[in-house]
Each structure stands twice: as structure tokens, then as C-alpha cells.
Amino acid sequence: MSDNPVTSAGGPLYPIREVSRLTGVNSVTLRAWERRYGLIQPRRTPKGHRLYARDDIERVERIVQWLNRGVPVSQVGDLLDGDGVQEELEPTPPVTPATDNPAGIDWHDQVTDACALIERFDEKGLDQLYTHLFGRYPTLTVLENVWKPVADHVSQQGDDDVSRLFLESFLRTRLALRLYYSNLDVSTPRLLLARLPEEKDSLHLLLAATHLGASGFHVSLIDNATTDNVLIGLTQRCRADVVILTGGEQQPADMVDRLKELTAAMHVPVCLSGPVTRLHRKALSFGGLTLLDDNPGHGARTVRQLVD
């Protein structure tokens, strides 16, 4: 289906991929909210494609607000349909639940629990936590509040590659599956994500790819070591609109010079994300390279501006 809204007597109707882009909630979650919980009821085309009105989109945004406050998804429907819910939500912007919110989820506790499970190599426990979080909260919320802080913690453990590799292995298949489904609903804009040459850490690459996929981009993920020439060739074959590279804290001395050569050879915008941007921001502030904010949401908006 086209991404352009369809006009009806009641106003424009939007396809699911456009709703995902507007709200930051991926299509898999939107379908689950409809089928499993009855939270939204989109219209259908004769061929069965979902179409959402403006009221549906506003309802999705209100669902996200309640979830961000720590309300279980199974209880959100009653709150949405109760009297005065709209008025209660409007004055209060979405917030990340804090530890002093007894009705909400304590994200810090979730991060601590995940790190402890990783330390014990408890894959079953980690899988239960993963399933619990993604089953109740939007993808972007879980990535930003739990898995990114966990990845930062594990990556900062110095020489402890064992924990990092365990977490990478755990997340790789699970996040790749999420990316696969989000790509089914989006054909453009197209992003190519890869690690910097000689970069070993895939954690931030996996998280960035999943976040951007859930934000309405089609993502081609290259989770292997590459060379500059290979990246240039991949960009052309993938028909990428933007190339995004990720890097950790430790980089070779010639990293900046090589990036300058690479960006000069590219015919599309090149972005850089990950811990490398915090440590080398001044040296990396040169024409042709866009540094993405450490906040994934801000980074996704920057990429959107490059392609719009």
C-alpha cells in the first residue's frame, strides 16, 4: 500500500507503516494491541489492509503514555475508556517512570536485574525478562530504558569480553527477528548500518538497527567486519539513502582520517553513532559526517531530517 493517507468522509486514513512512523510504535506491537488486547480497532480495506484514523493515532499515543508510566498493557484499556482520561493525560507529558513512582515500573531495577542475569550467564532468566518487557511496553521504550543502558554497562567493563559476547549472542537473533518484521512494513527510507572497520562491538549496532527499524526506516544490517570499499559497494547495492556506522570507545589512531576518506567517497549522507562520538566529538566534527545523539530518539529524528 501507499504511505499516503486515504481520504474518507471522516477524514484521512493512514496505513500501518505510517502510523508506526508517526508514533514510534512498530507494526508488530500495533497488531498485538489490536488482536490480543482490543486497544485499537482500525478500519480495513477490501483486501484486509489496516487503515487508521487520526483518532486511532491519538489513542496509540495515549496508550504509550500510560505504558511509559508503568501501567501494564492489560490494564490500559480500562483507563482509556474511563471518564476523564483524556483530560488527565493532556497536562502531563510522557515521562520515564522513576523509582518513587509506586504504580510504575522502575527501569533502573530492570537494568540491574538484566546485568545480574548476564553476569550469571542465565539465558533462561534473561529471556523471561526480555519477553516480559517487550510483551508489555513499546519497542522504543524498552530499548531506550533497558537494553541501551545494559549495553553501555557491559561495554564499559574493560576487558570483560565474555559478558559482552554473551549479551551480543542473546540479542542478535531476537533483535534480528524484530528487524525482519519491521522491514516487511517499510520499504523507504533505506538505511545501511554497519560497524566501523576493525570495530568488534556489535551491541550498539544491533540496538541502533532495531531502534531505527521501529522508528519507521527500512534497515539493512551488516553485522560483519567490512572494509571501506565493501561499504561503498554495499551502499550502492542496497540503494541506501543514509549510511550509519557505529563504534565503541577504543578506535585505531587513524580512525578520523579514514572516516574523512570514506565520507568523501560516499554519495549519500554518512552518520556515526555509539560511544565513539562522545570521546572523539571534536575530532569527528568535520563536513560530510553527521554525529548522532547518544539518545536514540534524538538520533532517529536527525536521520529523518536527512532523508525528508
Q: What is the pLDDT of residues 200-251, one digit of tens each?
A: 888 999 999 999 998 889 999 998 888 889 999 999 999 999 999 998 877 8
Q: Report, in angstroms and rounded to the nearest whole number, the Rg of the chain calculated over CA atoms.
A: 20
pTM tops 0.95, yes or no: no
Q: At what angle do helices 73-81 and 54-68 cross, to 10 degrees?
A: 120
Higher-confidence residue of 300 and 7: namely 300
Residue 39 has pLDDT above 90, yes or no: yes
> What is the pairing mode between strands 190-195 and 218-222?
parallel
**CATH 1.25.40.80 fits domain 6-89:** no
Specify the DSSP element, H or E, that contains 177. helix 161-184
Give the tens place of pLDDT for each residue, 240-287: 999 999 988 778 788 899 999 999 999 999 999 988 888 888 889 888
Structural domain spans, the chain = 6-89, 185-307
CATH fold, domain 185-307, is Rossmann fold (3.40.50)
pLDDT tens string 110-136: 999 999 999 999 999 999 999 888 877
CA pair distance 266, 286, nearest whole angstrom: 15
Cα separation of the two ends of the chain? 20
If DSSP codes are grouped into helix, strand and coil, which group holds residue 14?
strand
Nearest to 65 by CA among 84, 82, 83, 88: 88
